[in-house]
Structure 1
Amino acid sequence: MYTLVIMTWLTFVIIPNVNGFGYSKKEQHLWPQKYKLCTGKLQSPIAISTSKAIPLPLPALEMIGYHDFLPMPLTLVNNGQTIKLIVNKNVTYGRLPYIFGAILKQNQQYEMEQLHFHWGTKNNKGSEHVLNGIRYPMEMHIVHRNMAYSNFSHALQYEDGVVVIAVFFQLQDEQNELLQSLVSKLSDVQWAHLKLSVNISITLASLMPLNTDIYYIYKGSLTTPPCSEAITWVIFATPVPISFRQMSMFRTLSNGEEILGDNFRRLQDIGQRKIYVRRLYPWLSVKQDNSRWNFSNLSWFWS
């Protein structure tokens, strides 16, 4: 079990409202007027069906540094549209957590930028992606930048620029102790456009599902403007537990005018995109020569 500890040093900053978009049906309809990419053919989120996904014994997604504490202080932000946890890259630190493997390009590594959440005002909605007809009450996105590019804005200009790990949350009666230290700080950024600098001893592994063997992967976009189509999505099938009480803490937050919630984008057309799912077949020995599987040349689209 991973330990999360909250330190006491806090600094508050008011941040301006510069987001320029909303989540109501009408507001989402207006996104393309200001952000042309939102009408693209590789938009996210999408509905995922196991029966339509292509099963393959794909390599594991390697998550390096996920068991290490993130460098402190971290920044917790209520920007009026979501809650973000941002790493401070100016802190003298070893390497930030990064990922590689799966069917990402060889010799490319993706470093963590930030994580954030999407949730509903009711228990039957909240997640952005839908898996086998289920819309979970919350979804977390861990955003990673391809280290071949100098910064996040630069990375968004390339189709291999960003990888986002998506994790679903499923309600249960018992409190998830691994979430509690983070959840307990939400009240400190209850109001919109607050930024909180805090020492939170937290690992990314403590926010992940216990089973990361099965994941879905596809090519898509940011789910918020500017909707850049530079995202490789990795979506874990196993949800993380969260208690009803912990979920309610997210629903006490404000977006500046009302309760912050239902901050998920409507589903987008899959189009000609392929969705792969990692399956480990019993007959495929880990010692077997997998040279016949050329994952590097897999097509992302139906011809």
Structure 2
Amino acid sequence: MMLLYVLFIIPLTLAHSAYGDFGYSRRHQHTWAQEHKACAGKWQSPIALSSARAVALPLPAVEMIGYHNLLSGPVKLTNNGHSVALSLNKALSKKRLPFVFGGMLNKDQDYELEGLHFHWGIKNNRGSEHILNGIRFPMEMHVIHRNMKYPDLASALQHEDGLTVLGIFFQLQEEENEHLYPILRTLPNIQWINTEAELNVSITLASLMPRDTEIFYTYRGSLTTPPCSEAVTWILFPTTVPISFRQMNKFRMLSNGEEVLADNFRRLQDIGNRKVYVRRIEPYFASNVEMIDLNVESLQWYWQ
């Protein structure tokens, strides 16, 4: 049984350790492409998002199925030296894992939960990987899903439509966010690198999500860590999730084996010829025949 869990936790953390040791300093990030050619690709992530430059369309909503259900089976947090990752054991899960569809994802294809992790800064003015309208938030959470037409993560990474990642920004406030308690109370148990601990209370994905998911940005990009596979359809929500100053500091008490685990975000990548779409429901869309009959499958991800 333990073997099953070990085999499963590697893809949940996007194989942070499986692809070798890497650092987040500017010097270290320049060396990623030496071992992983995709890290020098044309469609890398993260990028700077701009509401003024995004193409606004009445896209279908992103449907999140099972997000309000308690995650079944052992739910564990791991400090892998690069992030804090939440994982489940598929072999012991009694229910179907949460999945998503809609937006600009391929029609009639579901994307099943693989896991989630966080990126944060040592100071409050940085931490998120993506930037929205010039703002870098103190933390960003990535919820990873695999296209179920591919049997496993390794296969999915070989295809442009292999993964979708939901990006959630966290914004500081004075009051604590009680929905974060299950994770925050477990952090002291994973202070050191390569340690893991099971959550002692149940949790739902919905409790970690922003209240408003109707508006989102979407674009084609990559993993933000080696091997930087260009296999991700990104979906990012501008509505933030609150976190208190005290709660944010608990992430900064973790160790990566050498120093404080923080500033674990990749530098911004060139957007190139990629389009960024933003879902908006505007009044004028209702009177525009082309918008009413919008064919999402006909939309292009890149400027011609």
Match of 2:159 in 1: 158
Distance 2:36 2:235 in 1: 25
1:185 partnered with 2:186? yes
Aligned length: 288
After superposition, the C-alpha distances for 1:33-61 in whole angstroms (9 at most, x for unaligned) are 11111000000000011000000011100
* Equivalent residue number for residue 11 of structure 1: none
Q: Confirm whether residue 296 of structure 1 aligns to residue 297 of structure 2.
A: yes
Q: Offset at 1:93? A: 1.4
Partner of 2:124: 123
Q: 2: CA distance between counterparts of 1:92 and 1:169?
A: 29
- Residue 72 of structure 1: aligned partner: 73
SS at match of 2:180: helix
**Counterpart Cα distance in 2 of 1:219 and 1:284:** 24
Q: Partner of 2:31: helix, strand, or coil?
A: helix
1:215: which partner in 2? 216
- Contact 1:167–1:240, Cα closer than 8 Å, also in 2: yes
Once residues 17 and 167 of structure 1 are traced to their aligned partners in structure 2, the CA distance between those partners, rounded to angstroms, is: 24
Given the alignment of the two structures, is residue 233 of structure 1 paired with residue 234 of structure 2, yes or no? yes
Matches of 1:199 and 1:44, distance apart in 2? 34
Distance 1:92 1:202 in 2: 14
Aligned counterparts of 1:42 and 1:113: Cα–Cα separation in 2: 22
* Counterpart for residue 150 of structure 2: 149
Give the equivalent residue in structure 1 for 2:61: 60
After TM superposition, give the deviation of residue 200 of structure 1 in Å.
Answer: 3.3
* Distance in structure 1 (CA, Å) of the matches to 2:102 and 2:29: 34
Instruction: Note the C-alpha offset of 1:99.
Output: 0.2
Q: How far off its partner does 1:290 sit?
A: 6.1
| Distance across 2 between alignment mates of 1:190 and 1:91 | 26
* RMSD between superposed Cα atoms in Å: 1.8
Alpha-carbon shift at residue 284 of structure 1 (Å): 4.5
* Uncovered stretches (5+) of structure 2, i.e. residues with no partner: 1-9, 11-15
SS in 2 for 1:140: strand
Residue 137 (structure 1) aligns with: 138
Asked whether the 8 Å contact 1:37–1:227 carries over to 2, the reply is yes
CA contact 2:76–2:198 (8 Å) conserved in 1:
yes
Q: Does the 8 Å CA contact 2:72/2:95 hold for their aligned counterparts?
A: no
Q: TM-score, normalised by structure 2?
A: 0.91
Partner of 1:171: 172
Do the aligned residues in 2 keep the contact of 1:218 with 1:232 (CA within 8 Å)? yes
Q: Which residue of 2 aligns with 1:277?
A: 278
How far apart are the structure 1 equivalents of 2:35 and 2:285?
49
Amino acid at match of 1:226: P
Measured in 2, the distance between the counterparts of 1:243 and 1:198 equals 21
Distance 2:291 2:95 in 1: 34
Q: Secondary structure in 1 aligned to 2:278? A: strand
Name the SS of the counterpart of 1:90 in structure 2.
helix
Whole-Å separation in 2 of the counterparts to 1:239 and 1:158: 30
Give the superposition deviation at 1:289.
9.9
Spell out, residue by residue over 1:228-265, the C-alpha distance to the aligned partner (whole angstroms, 9 max, x if none): 00000000010100000000000000000000000000
- CA deviation vs aligned residue, 1:250-283 (integer Å, no higher than 9, x gap): 0000000000000000000000000000001134
- How many Å separate the matches in 1 of 2:135 and 2:83? 22
User: Which whole-Å CA distance do the structure 2 matches of 1:145 and 1:33 have between them?
Assistant: 27
Please, which moves more after superposition, 85-94 or 230-239? 85-94
User: Quick one: which amino acid aligns to residue 64 of structure 2?
Assistant: M
Per-residue Cα deviation, 1:185-214 (whole angstroms, up to 9, x for no partner) = 101000011122334300000000001111
The separation in 1 between residues aligned to 2:25 and 2:169, in whole angstroms, is: 22
- Secondary structure at 2:112's aligned position in 1? strand
Q: Report the residue type matching 1:125 in the other structure.
A: R
Aligned equivalent of 1:104: 105
Secondary structure in 1 matching 2:155: helix
Query: Contact 2:127–2:139 at 8 Å: present in 1 too?
Result: yes
For residue 268 of structure 2, give the secondary structure of its aligned residue in structure 1.
coil
1:3 maps to which residue? none
Q: Tell me the equivalent position of 1:86.
A: 87
Could you tell me how far apart the structure 2 residues matched to 1:282 and 1:249 are? 44
Shift of 1:285: 5.2
Q: Which amino acid aligns with 2:232?
A: I
Separation in structure 2 between the aligned mates of residue 108 and residue 169 of structure 1, nearest angstrom: 29
**Runs of 5+ consecutive residues of structure 1 not aligned to the other structure:** 1-14
Which residue of structure 1 aligns with residue 13 of structure 2? Answer: none
Secondary structure of 1:37's partner?
helix
The secondary structure found in structure 1 opposite 2:181 is helix
- Kindly indicate whether the alpha-carbon contact (under 8 Å) linking 2:57 and 2:278 is maintained by their aligned counterparts in 1: yes
Q: 1:6 — aligned with what?
A: none
Runs of 4+ that moved beyond 4 A: 15-18, 283-286, 288-291
Q: Aligned residue for 1:206?
A: 207
**More deviation in 174-183 or 229-238?**
174-183
Percent identical pairs in the alignment equals: 57
1:202 maps to amino acid? I
Paired with 2:200 and 2:182, the residues of 1 have a C-alpha distance of 11
Q: For residues 123 and 72 of structure 1, what CA distance do their matches in structure 2 show?
A: 34
